[in-house]
Homo-oligomer: A and B are copies of this chain.
């Protein structure tokens, strides 16, 4: 059983608490820190916390607390982690880990040196669909992975600090791209080194300093490509989709807007009050989500985190992972400015080194490689071959 101190009583803190207390959970949130007294009190009342305070250290140091859960603006992650290290309290931290890789690396080191548990709350790497897809990918059902794309776009976050570049550290790319980067990286293989990034980012709509729309390609050492598409300017709700292509198959995941739940309402009976996170309308055709807390990965995430902590093993998503994600995003920000592919700077790297881009040469016979086999409209079995010596490409009918 974990006795959790929640740092931050806003949107995400409450979402976490719903998950932590969900179903027949044995864990409880026992303490809450919020910057505003009123927020802390309301949270404590809503979730039955014994202790609340506007002093962060008091909450972390509270002797009852066995696990600290950071749900604060990005600029407060590092100070909070440092306090956990000081008080030797296990800690899980929301995404992104840092505003940049430098911050993230300091947090990672602080946790490792203090010998405390550090979990990175990358919920979208714990959605039920993602977990099952990842199993299939690892089992080889898609063959060699060539490309993995993740898209997260919606009409913008709920709190003011997200829109402030200083507190947030960036715009939609940091806020949403951190998810997408880790999703693609997981499908491609976490042991494979990300080497360079090409990124476009712009402020197309909102009166802010940070980007509100960005697209990037991340090249991995084995030639695979990760892609992300993120935006705060999308209209229509929260679009959360992943795609993976391998030599033997493909996977398409829709985590939110099209999940087999469709509803039409004229609004003349009773309108819908709340459809789903970031939904933009409550009449006409609506696409609610069955179990947001589960479908967004919170349940499986906390189960992994706490089970790992209790078993003395690493969780699937660690502070090291958070740091790698930050390093990739740092390269993306540089590329958006330099308009070139930018290398990913990884002062610490714990995966494989020296992979090279693979190709698939399918031997047809001693003299030919196979390009393609197919059945035509009129039932012919046709093959397209490459002559090994001449490089010439030819077509043949086979029976």
Instruction: Please state the number of chain copies in the assembly.
Output: 4
A215-B235 in contact (CB<8A): no
* Residues 269-286 (chain A) with a chain B CB within 8 angstroms: 269-274, 280-281, 283-286
Return chain B residues, CB-CB under 8 Å to A377: 274
Is A41 an interface residue, CB under 8 A from the partner?
Answer: no
Q: Please, how many angstroms separate the alpha-carbon atoms of A128 and B286 in the complex?
A: 16
B164-A393 in contact (CB<8A): yes
Is A47 an interface residue, CB under 8 A from the partner?
Answer: no
A371-B250 in contact (CB<8A): no
Return chain B residues, CB-CB under 8 Å to A237: 264
Q: Please, how many angstroms separate the alpha-carbon atoms of A85 and B341 in the complex?
A: 45
* Residues 347-372 (chain A) with a chain B CB within 8 angstroms: 357, 359-362, 369, 371-372
Q: Residue A128 contacts which of B254, B280, B291 (CB distance < 8 angstroms)?
A: B291
Q: How far is the CB of A360 from chain B (nearest CB, A)?
A: 5
Q: How far is the CB of A9 from chain B (nearest CB, A)?
A: 13
Is A397 an interface residue, CB under 8 A from the partner?
Answer: no
B236-A285 in contact (CB<8A): yes
Is A295 an interface residue, CB under 8 A from the partner?
Answer: yes
A272-B139 in contact (CB<8A): yes
Q: Residue A303 contacts which of B23, B236, B261, B393 (CB distance < 8 angstroms)?
A: B23
Number of interface residues of A (CB under 8 A): 123
Is A187 an interface residue, CB under 8 A from the partner?
Answer: no
Q: Please, how many angstroms separate the alpha-carbon atoms of A200 and B215 in the complex?
A: 13
Q: Which of A63-71, A97-105, A155-163, A176-184 forms contacts with chain B?
A: A155-163
Query: Given that A207-B371, A264-B236 are known contacts, is A200 also in contact with B223, CB under 8 Å in the complex?
Result: no
**Binary B-proximity of A193-206 (CB < 8 A = 1, otherwise 0):** 00000101011111
Q: Residue A294 contacts which of B27, B264, B294 (CB distance < 8 angstroms)?
A: B294
Return chain B residues, CB-CB under 8 Å to A302: 24
Q: Please, how many angstroms separate the alpha-carbon atoms of A252 and B252 in the complex?
A: 15
Q: How far is the CB of A299 from chain B (nearest CB, A)?
A: 5
A163-B393 in contact (CB<8A): yes
Q: Please, how many angstroms separate the alpha-carbon atoms of A374 and B159 in the complex?
A: 11
Query: Given that A359-B207, A374-B158, A393-B163 are known contacts, is A249 also in contact with B266, CB under 8 Å in the complex?
Result: yes
Q: Please, how many angstroms separate the alpha-carbon atoms of A248 and B282 in the complex?
A: 13
B393-A160 in contact (CB<8A): yes
Is A136 an interface residue, CB under 8 A from the partner?
Answer: yes
A252-B248 in contact (CB<8A): no
Query: Given that A163-B393, A198-B198, A266-B280 are known contacts, is A249 also in contact with B235, CB under 8 Å in the complex?
Result: yes
A260-B263 in contact (CB<8A): no
20 sample A-B contacts, Cβ–Cβ < 8 Å, listed by A number: A24-B25, A25-B25, A128-B290, A129-B261, A133-B263, A139-B270, A144-B269, A156-B384, A158-B374, A160-B384, A203-B359, A207-B386, A208-B386, A235-B249, A235-B250, A237-B264, A249-B263, A253-B260, A253-B262, A340-B340
Extra contacts, 11 of them, besides A155-B372, A339-B340 (Cβ < 8 A), are A23-B303, A136-B288, A142-B269, A163-B384, A200-B217, A204-B357, A209-B391, A236-B249, A255-B260, A260-B260, A340-B340
